[in-house]
């Protein structure tokens, strides 16, 4: 960066040629010239950085600026400002005047810069006006506000459009990550069962032939009854792992002494059913001699095949449940506005975010016979995702998340409560402001809660409030039961 390379006369003409200053009187222009601080930026030089305290309003006289923001570790170009028509980037109806100044939004909100601006080109000249001068400019030069306010409105709208697109991508990413994580176990079970099923069926066929050759009619009846009894056993209650291991070892030892070739798998299968070690010898008391080893090997193969089939039966509905939750979460193939149960969206959000909720207890307070809402469930799912995700992050892997739903008059009230670190008192009034974030630079856009606020208040004509102390943060969403 170098000092100013522009004379007073040239600077006066350059400023007066800008739309934002075109309507100024001679006295106003004289004052503006006296407070102007022009400077030339080298190519790539940073004018201001994301997260820095906003100190000045900047006017672009020549060259260009590229405005970027780091989002999830990636540097994204938000927009480009240029003084020549060829380099001017038009998008989302960008007003021409928007190319010639920047930095007004954080000054007006008394915040920090929400992006990084750097010079683009070898001869970029800007004029900077410190915060006090900027506000004096607005009072002295009334024509400035007439140009600045429409540009400010466009920038806020454009930021929200970009944020909605980013939120959609992030929601899809969250959905994909959650779905992949949750599908991993049932998919692995299906893959393992499919791989082991063919050898298991081969063993079942071989042991059936061996058993048929060794057994008498009465012995076959004994084993048939035993197989039927095993098939009708109820699911085992929770057992002591040490006691189950001891039972498995005792059953396997007995089967091995009886001559079984697959004593280990048989002991594991019988112990998994919650049976005592003496159960199997008692049932096979009528089978002896050379038929007993054949009976035990055939029983081991039969239980193995049944176990694999049970895994497949359990995995299939689990996959279907996840697909259904994903479909309902995204509201695929449905009209945007509809009647829906708000608890369905909360439950589907928990499914999608299950990986982030590991170690966190979930408490549901859903009274029966809750009425349905009319609104946009896919948009509200973004709200629930933001609130639950923030709660999970605040609890850092341990705590209790409470989801409460109730009716109050003509409204549905949804409360999401966490036992995390809380929101500082000085921060709480600002959490719904656009671009405000307490996260490190690059880890948050400051738009998640703002978008949630817009979805609740503007799309659903409701309200969203927050109360927080360390160990208890309560986000309360009120939604009218019916939309006009």
Between residues 215 and 43, the one the model is more confident about: 43
As a whole number of angstroms, the distance between CA 49 and CA 163 comes to 19
As a whole number of angstroms, the distance between CA 47 and CA 50 comes to 10
Q: Which run of H or of E encompasses 367?
A: none
Q: Which of 15-24, 166-175, 199-208, 308-317 has the highest mean pLDDT?
A: 15-24
Please report the pLDDT score of residue 183 as a whole number: 59
Please report the pLDDT score of residue 247 as a whole number: 85
Greatest Cα pair distance in the chain: 118
Map tokens 């979930």 to a residue.
Answer: 362
pLDDT tens track for 381-397: 888 988 998 899 999 88
As a whole number of angstroms, the distance between CA 103 and CA 117 comes to 9
Among the residue ranges 7-16, 188-197, 256-265, 394-403, the one predicted with the least confidence is 188-197
As a whole number of angstroms, the distance between CA 312 and CA 181 comes to 18
The terminus-to-terminus CA distance of the chain in angstroms comes to 57
Please report the pLDDT score of residue 6 as a whole number: 74
Q: Is the pLDDT of residue 168 over 60?
A: no
Q: Is the pLDDT of residue 2 over 80?
A: no
| C-alpha Rg value of the chain to the nearest Å | 35
CA atoms within 13 A on the CB side of 202: 5
Going by DSSP bridges, is the β-strand pair 46-48/116-119 parallel, antiparallel, or unpaired? antiparallel
Q: Is the pLDDT of residue 280 over 90?
A: no
Helices (H), 83-141: 104-108, 131-140
Q: Is the pLDDT of residue 160 over 90?
A: no
Domains of the chain: 8-140 (2.60.120.10), 187-322 (no CATH), 334-480 (3.30.565.10)
Rounded to the nearest integer, the mean pLDDT of the chain is 81
Q: What is the pTM of this model?
A: 0.44
Q: What average pLDDT does range 213-223 have in this prediction?
A: 84
Q: Which of 215-229, 255-269, 407-421 has the highest mean pLDDT?
A: 407-421
Please report the pLDDT score of residue 463 as a whole number: 92
Q: Is the pLDDT of residue 337 over 90?
A: no
């Amino acid at each position: 960066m170098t000092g100013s390379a522009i004379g007073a006369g040239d600077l006066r003409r350059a400023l007066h040629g800008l739309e934002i200053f075109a309507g100024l009187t001679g006295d106003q222009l004289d004052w503006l010239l006296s407070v102007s601080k022009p400077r030339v930026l080298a190519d790539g030089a940073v004018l201001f950085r994301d997260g820095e305290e906003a100190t000045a309003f900047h006017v672009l006289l020549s060259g260009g600026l590229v405005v970027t923001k780091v989002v999830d570790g990636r540097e994204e170009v938000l927009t480009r400002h240029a003084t020549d028509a060829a380099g001017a980037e038009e998008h989302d109806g960008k007003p021409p005047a928007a190319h010639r100044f920047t930095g007004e939004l954080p000054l007006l909100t008394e915040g920090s810069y929400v992006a990084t601006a750097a010079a683009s080109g070898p001869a970029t000249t800007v004029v900077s006006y410190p915060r006090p001068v900027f506000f004096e400019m607005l009072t002295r030069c009334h024509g400035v506000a007439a140009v600045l306010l429409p540009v400010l409105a466009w920038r806020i709208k454009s930021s929200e459009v970009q944020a909605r697109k980013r939120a959609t991508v992030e929601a899809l990413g969250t959905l994909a990550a959650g779905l992949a994580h949750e599908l991993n176990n049932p998919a692995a079970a299906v893959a393992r069962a499919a791989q082991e099923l063919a050898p298991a069926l081969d063993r079942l066929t071989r042991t059936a032939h061996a058993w048929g050759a060794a057994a008498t009619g009465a012995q076959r009846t004994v084993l048939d009854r035993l197989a039927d009894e095993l098939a009708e056993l109820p699911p085992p209650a929770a057992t002591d792992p040490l006691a189950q291991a001891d039972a498995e070892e005792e059953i396997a030892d007995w089967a091995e002494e009886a001559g079984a070739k697959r004593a280990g798998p048989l002991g594991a299968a019988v112990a998994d059913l919650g049976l005592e070690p003496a159960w199997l010898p008692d049932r096979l008391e009528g089978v002896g001699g050379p038929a007993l080893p054949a009976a035990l090997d055939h029983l081991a193969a039969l239980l193995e095949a049944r176990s694999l089939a049970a895994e497949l039966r359990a995995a299939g509905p689990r996959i279907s449940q996840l697909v259904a939750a994903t479909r309902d979460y995204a509201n695929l193939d449905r009209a945007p506005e509809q009647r829906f149960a708000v608890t369905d969206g909360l439950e589907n959000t928990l499914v999608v975010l299950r990986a982030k909720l590991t170690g966190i207890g979930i408490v549901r307070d859903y009274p029966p016979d809750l009425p349905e809402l009319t609104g946009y469930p896919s948009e509200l799912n973004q709200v629930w995702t933001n609130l639950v995700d923030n709660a999970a992050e605040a609890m850092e892997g341990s705590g209790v998340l409470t989801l409460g739903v109730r009716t109050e008059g003509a409204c549905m009230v949804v409360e999401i409560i966490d036992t995390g670190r809380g929101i500082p008192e000085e921060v709480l009034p600002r959490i719904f402001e656009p671009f405000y974030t307490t996260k490190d630079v690059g880890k948050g856009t400051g738009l998640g809660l703002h978008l949630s606020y817009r979805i609740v208040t503007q799309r659903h004509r409701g309200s969203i409030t927050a109360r927080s102390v360390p160990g208890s943060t309560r986000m309360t969403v009120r939604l009218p039961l019916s939309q006009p």
